[in-house]
Amino acid sequence: MFSPISALIGSVLAFFSFSFAQENNFTSPDYFEDVYSETAIDTIKKTATEEEETAKEAAEEEAAVKEIAEEAAAKEAAEEEAAKKAAEEEAAKRAAEGEAAKKAAEAAAAAKKAAEEAAAKKAEFSVEMVFVKGGFFTMGCTSEQRADCNDDERPIQNVNLSDYYISKYPVTQRLWKKVMGTNPSYFSGPELPVESVSWNEVQMFIKELNAITGKKYSLPTEAEWEYAARGGIKSRSQKYSGNNDLDKVAWYGDNSEQRTRDVGTKQANELGIYDMNGNVWEWVQDWKESYSSSKKLKTNPTGPSSGVSRAYRGCSWQDIALFCRVSRRGGSNPDYGSSFIGFRLVLTQ
């Protein structure tokens, strides 16, 4: 294949060959043909071959450049894709971390809320307690009771108690209703002592309260009740709980107007405990039996292992002063409930 340049060279060679032939009278067609054939055609072929080689080299160089460019473009595209993928992975990682942090924060908030609700629920069912430092005391018909003692208050008992807590007030109707859902009381009022509850019903209440609060409430033993009523280690050896003047510390037959009154509205005793006398008698844990004749020291006594009546202590809104002494004892069938019997609680350490 001849290019335009090859054609131009051929024309020039032909012109000079023809001119040379005329000058030298070489005008024979045969001569011109021989010269053109041997010289011009060889030159044209050589030139064409060189041009073809140059074009081939240029094409190869162009192909190599194109290949390099394509490789560079492919590499750049691959790098861009890798960078895009890395960015997407980083974004996904951050999103996952953010989601995990969000879930952790939500879980922490939920746990905090649950803890606050549990604490609020426990506070709602809380019982205000008074610490009673344990110690030695004489239980029963002690000297300040004079000739008022009954036979079941004798002989005196030598008792030693460990530390414990006792409720500051008798259990109220408000707390009973929160725990049990009903109010069995004859007199009605949230801060009145709950009454008309049997010893057995009280046990059911305590079981429910313990399940709600996670604590271990119980009824006080007779010894725990009397020790707290006497004022514990702060006792001033008085006839009633906190004072020798019953009107100052108790709602009883002479001042109650024949009904229960809101707890904590009379004076507290030496330990800061209210209504240990008056308002309602209070169930205790023990079976009611005669005191032991033994003079041996009794440590944390719990009373007999069986019996017919459960003991209660303290006197009520309808009783005379004689019944309100700290050593006075009462008792009844554990299924019996009355408007003059309630209870308070203890917690041991």
Q: Give the 3-state secondary structure of 43-60.
A: HHHHHHHHHHHHHHHHHH
Q: Is 160 helix (H, G, I), strand (E, B) or coil?
A: strand
Phi and psi torsions of 310, nearest 5°: -95, 145
Residues 40 and 46: their CA atoms lie apart, in Å, by 10
Residues 311 and 292: their CA atoms lie apart, in Å, by 16
Predicted pLDDT at 23: 58
Q: How far apart are the first and last CA of the chain?
A: 117
Predicted pLDDT at 25: 53
Residues 6+ apart with CB under 8 A from 285: 218, 219, 220, 221, 222, 302, 303, 310
Residues 6+ apart with CB under 8 A from 208: 179, 180
Predicted pLDDT at 32: 45
Predicted pLDDT at 227: 98
Angle, to 10 degrees, between the axis of helix 4-23 and the axis of helix 41-124?
170
The residue type found at 4 is P
125: which DSSP letter? T
Q: Which pairs with CB-CB distance under 8 Å and at least 24 residues apart come from 202-211?
A: 202/283, 202/343, 204/180, 205/171, 205/176, 205/179, 205/180, 206/345, 208/179, 208/180, 209/125, 209/127, 209/179
Predicted pLDDT at 12: 47
Predicted pLDDT at 26: 47
277 touches 314 (CB < 8 A): yes
Predicted pLDDT at 313: 98
Residues 257 and 251: their CA atoms lie apart, in Å, by 9
Strands of 184-328 (E only): list them: 281-287, 298-299, 310-313
Predicted pLDDT at 28: 53
Q: Which of 293, 247, 275, 291 is nearest to 342 (CA)?
A: 275
Predicted pLDDT at 4: 52
Low-confidence ranges of the chain (pLDDT < 70): 1-37, 40, 349
Q: Is 145 helix (H, G, I), strand (E, B) or coil?
A: helix
